[in-house]
Structure 1
Amino acid sequence: MGPIPFDNSYTRLPGAFYTRQEPTQVHRPGAIRVNHALARQLGIDPDWLDSAEGIATIAGNHVPEGAEPLAAVYAGHQFGSYNPQLGDGRALLLGEVLDRNGQRFDIQLKGSGPTPYSRGGDGRSPLGPVLREYIVSEAMAALGVPTTRALAAVSTGEPVIRDRALPGAVLARVASSHIRIGTFQYFSAVGDHASLRLLVEHSLARHYPEFAGAESPALALLQCVVDAQAALVPRWQALGFIHGVMNTDNMLVCGETIDYGPCAFIDDFHADKVFSSIDRGGRYAYRNQPGIAQWNLACLAHALLPVIDADQDRAVELAQAAVDTYPDKFLAAQSRCMADKLGLDRLEGDDKALVDALFANLDTHGTDFTLAFRRLYELAGGEPAVGELFEFPAAFAPWLAQWRARLAADSLTPEQRLAVMRRANPVFIPRNHLVEAAIRAAEDRGDLQPFHALVERTARPFDFDPDDRPYATPPRPEQVVERTFCGT
């Protein structure tokens, strides 16, 4: 047995699903950070990951025993336009492991060199996107959001050319799987229904085994993915998180958040906020994320039609019915999130109007999203943390009076209320200006200390320490990050 206990399943699928590919070696790999806790969960010795051989493995210079590296093929709608073949253009699935609970995870190397799907790209990643994904994906995990994880990051010792020469890096990303809506779109578009059925069976067995014996496996899988996304996107909305590239190739059927390229958390709230430099029309703005998720699910439904039912009219009817369950499921999950953030047992009666009025106030005044909700927790009796940093404008007074009256009528005890609100309202998030500062320090000066400090601080998003107040402070005008960028 090698240092990583591989147990691969995707390589047992036919060759149409992937291209076997060795990573491209780099000149001088170096350690950046190893996620020791995640390594232990996966049954990997973190000390080995810290070793020269471990660093070489993540960099792509060493393929350990049991690894079967491959680049997966998929398609996808990118900003609404269909691309019939995408695939892993700068990533390789190194292999899979079973964690201590028997759950299967992919280990993927991102930035490991060109593949047949690179479409003329170099297959590499600059240091900045690797640091951004490490910071934000681990923060999302700490916030309780289903997400891919960062196992390790290494430098390559080689420059990557974008608008300028940048230091290169590789990220070891962990996911429950990398099977995307776009994976199904690819096989549907090329008319390979046998592979489409096989992919459905593989996905059900891996992620939703309780439905593997369903009368229509494809319909069962569609409903499972609808349910997973209806639960995921409200978590984004409740944190002010903007994904930035909600293409169908960036939506996993397992329901985890993936691809942290141009993502960002909102500081001053506006519902039409956009950060991604390539989202010129605002397709993936904050307010649009719930609807785009349903649009993507409709794309999955369309891809699955050939294997849902032999009668295509019947297949359309069944698929439409599944996708049509999304709005109610989303609203129910959103209602639960907002009830927790406001300290209510559940939303009822006029509570939707209360929530809508709060968001209208936040939008009108450009209020800091994270601090506003954390301040509500303090006003409900929680331990002080952000009061020195934030207070509601006077215009919020009528709304705050209505909220306090609603709390008085709610069934939660004060202790229950504070426990719920504390878990729902972080004080620390990876604020854009802090992420950007960490990247600049690393790229420009080779200083990784701000990166490490931000990772460690956002790993405890709900626990306030006065010494860490700068991590909770909104950006000054000159620090505001208006645009974020993809690593390609």
Structure 2
Amino acid sequence: MNYVPSQPASETAPFPFDNSYARLPANFYARVEPTPVAEPWLIKFNRKLAEELGLEAEALERDGAAIFSGNKIPPGAEPLAMAYAGHQFGTFVPQLGDGRAIMLGEVIDRGGKRRDIQLKGSGQTPYSRRGDGRAALGPVLREYIISEAMHALGIPTTRALAATITGQPVYREQILPGAVFTRVAASHIRVGTFQFFAARGDMESVKTLADYVIERHYPELKDSEKPYFSLFKAVAARQAALIARWLHVGFIHGVMNTDNMTVSGETIDFGPCAFMDAYDPKKVFSSIDQFGRYAYANQPGIGQWNLARLAETLVPLFDPVADTAVNLANDALTEYGSIFQKHWLDGMRRKIGLATDEDGDIELIQSLLTLMHEGNADFSLVFRRLVASAGDNGSDPALVELFEKPGAVSAWLHDWRGRVARETLDTGARAAAMRAANPAFIPRNHRVEQAIDAATRDADFSLFEALLDVTSRPYEDQPEHEAYAAPPRAGEEVLQTFCGT
């Protein structure tokens, strides 16, 4: 397979496309163009991201409504819908694919990284499975807010380039305004992409896909003695690091199906996702997660389960001796657990101001989490107020008041200060390090819903814009926006989130 880049379509084109995925065999995708919409209106354009991608920002601001709605195909685009399969809540579906998303093409950003440009909600494809291929405004705004907030938090994620209203309704449980979301990703290749070919016994395509992924995401593995096993280990390591970072900020993905796990290590698909308010390891928001499969604390184990499914597709490539190949896969899956635990513990140490390792640290961390659960304490606020306590004992009451059992928290603070006393950082440096590890602002669920309601009901995007602004600086103190750091009041709490399909 030839992966040599083609020449950009035009120096003056808004997108300098170079579409490597479109050069793969035809069974990897379906060629399809977006379905035009009635009256597109550009709600939001991420100019800063466009400039990072090396795009012609002025041209996109001028023609963005037409391009980002799918009404105008820019020069050099090769629209396609990707084929993939997936385990959905543990049940294998041999064909899913992009049912409401169409990839326009790829660009090389200013950092030399290849990025996909994809339209979500752009009409039917051969993979739509009787769906209309459209998206409602609410899910588009949710994905814009959450993906950009995740980026600001420093968590690998797909990005939001634009959101566009279509001018025509979509029909769900009710009639809703339609919209298109423009997503940017390192790639949209998923565990389910490998499953699509493996389920058909098409190992030639599995190998072609693996070669492509190595070339695109892990070029340092090309000369490895066992490149496909090395690829699997690299994907597993990235997932371990990613999921640990989710847990550090109280993020619950909500639908960790194998078709929603990228091999690039980015967070993707923000349908029923949410951030916890009060800490609860069993917390679930997704309305379709009836049995808590994807609850907050289950996410590391689900990551390992998904990787086992990826291993099943690749294991014939690991080693010509079947038993050896299976043993390699099992060893790598075991190693995933160790890698995750290290990332999680290192991050939790940073959150409570520890720069060194001691044997009792995990017990100290777990005891705080237990107190938070028993005391119905807000996850983000506890850690942010601990930052203040690191610099001033007089700040303890503001932290303790978050718990329903304040006495036990005071005892924990005594133990914590004893541990911190053995650190080498001075008080100021420790507080600064903790502040950089504990966001003051997350896109709290009630704020996201308020922004969506205002936009959907009244075409009022002021709350959407305000939330984007606040969450773009999550680690900064923003006294003027203190209300955005607060948990929901009585009657504001969001108990369920919903898929965008």
8 A Cα contact 2:386 2:399, kept in partner: no
Query: 1:431-442 to 2 correspondence within 5 Å?
Result: 431-442=444-455
Give the superposition deviation at 1:85: 0.6
Q: Could you tell me how far 1:45 is from its partner in structure 2? A: 2.4
Contact 1:386–1:427 (CA under 8 A) maintained in structure 2: no
Relative to the length of structure 1, the TM-score reads 0.97
Whole-angstrom CA distance in 2 between matches of 1:157 and 1:232 = 37
- Residue identity matched to 1:64: P
In the superposition, the TM-score normalised over structure 2's length comes to 0.95
- Which residue of the partner structure matches residue 17 of structure 2? 6
Q: Alignment length, in residue pairs?
A: 487
Which secondary structure state, in structure 1, belongs to the residue aligned with residue 491 of structure 2?
helix
SS at match of 1:128: helix
Report the Cα offset of residue 383 of structure 1. 13
Partner Cα distance (1:110, 1:386) in 2: 47
Report SS of the residue matched to 2:436.
helix
> For 1:267-306, what aligned pairs fall within 5 Å after superposition?
267-306=277-316
Equivalent AA in structure 1 for residue 307 of structure 2:
L
Superposed CA RMSD in Å reads 1.6
Q: Tell me, which stretches of 5 or more residues in structure 2 are unaligned?
A: 1-9
Partner of 2:457: 444
Equivalent of residue 424 in structure 1, options 420, 437, 449: 437
Q: Is 2:101 aligned against 1:91?
A: yes
| Residue identity in the other structure for 1:439 | I
> Counterpart in 1 of 2:27?
16
Are the equivalent residues in 1 in contact too, given 2:14–2:57 (CA < 8 A)?
A: no
Listed one character per residue, the Cα deviations across residues 145-186 of structure 1 (whole Å, up to 9, x for unaligned) are: 000000111100010100000001101100000000000111
8 Å Cα contact 1:375-1:391 kept in structure 2: no
Task: Give 1:220 shift.
Answer: 1.2
- Select 1:251's aligned residue among 228, 249, 261: 261
Counterpart among 337, 348, 369 of residue 338 in structure 1:
348
Is residue 269–residue 369 contact of structure 1 (8 Å, CA) maintained in 2?
A: yes
Distance 1:35 1:235 in 2: 25
CA distance in 2, matches of 1:449, 1:325: 47
Secondary structure in structure 1 of the residue aligned to 2:156: coil
Alpha-carbon distance between aligned partners in 1 of 2:226 and 2:155, rounded to the nearest angstrom: 30
Structure 1 partner of 2:252:
242
1:101-134: per-residue Cα shift (whole Å, max 9, x none)? Answer: 1110001101111100010000100000000000
1:375 touches 1:390 (CA, 8 Å); kept in 2? no
Q: Which residue of 2 aligns with 1:148?
A: 158
Q: CA deviation at 1:315?
A: 1.4
**Residue 230 (1) aligns with residue 243 (2):** no
User: Counterpart in 2 of 1:466?
Assistant: 479
Deviation at 1:405, TM superposition (A): 1.2
Paired amino acid for 1:368 = D
Q: AA paired with 1:273? A: K
| SS of residue in 2 equivalent to 1:275 | coil
| Cα pair 1:196 1:307 within 8 Å, conserved | no
Amino acid at match of 2:57: P
The counterpart of 2:56, out of the listed 6, 31, 45, is: 45
Q: Is the 8 A contact 1:11 1:68 kept in 2?
A: yes
Separation in 2 of the partners of 1:467 and 1:249?
41
| 1:54 matches 2:68 | no
Q: How far is 1:366 from its partner?
A: 1.3
* Residues 1:414 and 2:427 aligned together: yes
> Aligned ranges for residues 267-416 of structure 1 at < 5 Å?
267-381=277-391, 391-393=401-403, 394-395=406-407, 396-416=409-429
SS at match of 1:19: strand
Question: What's 2:6 paired with?
Answer: none
Shift of 1:382: 7.7
Q: Following the alignment from structure 2 to structure 1, what is the Cα–Cα distance between the partners of residues 443 and 392?
A: 22
**Greater CA drift, 37-46 or 245-254:** 37-46
User: 1:168 aligned to 2:181?
Assistant: no
Q: Distance in 1 between matches of 2:206 and 2:452?
A: 41
Query: What's the offset of the Cα at 1:478?
Result: 0.2
Which consecutive unaligned segments of at least 5 residues does structure 1 have?
A: none
Q: Which AA in structure 1 matches 2:452?
A: I
CA distance in 1, matches of 2:393, 2:483: 18
Tell me the alpha carbon deviations over residues 418-451 of structure 1, each in whole angstroms, 9 at most, x when there is no partner: 2221111011000000000000000111101100
1:65 counterpart residue number: 75
The whole-number CA distance in structure 2 between the counterparts of 1:62 and 1:18 is 21
Secondary structure, aligned partner of 1:324: helix
Deviation at 1:46, TM superposition (A): 2.3
Alignment partner, residue 38 of structure 2: 27
Distance across 2 between alignment mates of 1:383 and 1:76: 51
Shift of the 177–382 alpha-carbon distance from structure 1 to 2, 3 Å rule, reads farther
Match of 2:7 in 1: none
**SS in structure 2 opposite 1:33?**
strand
Deviations 1:330-383 (A, max 9, x none): 011011101110000133221111011011001111110000000000111289
Counterpart pick for 1:159 among 165, 169, 174 = 169
Q: Which residue of 2 aligns with 1:480?
A: 493
In structure 2, the residue corresponding to 1:118 is in which secondary structure? coil
Counterpart-to-counterpart distance in 1, 2:463 and 2:360: 45
TM-aligned CA deviation for residue 390 of structure 1: 7.7
Shift in Å, 1:465? 1.9
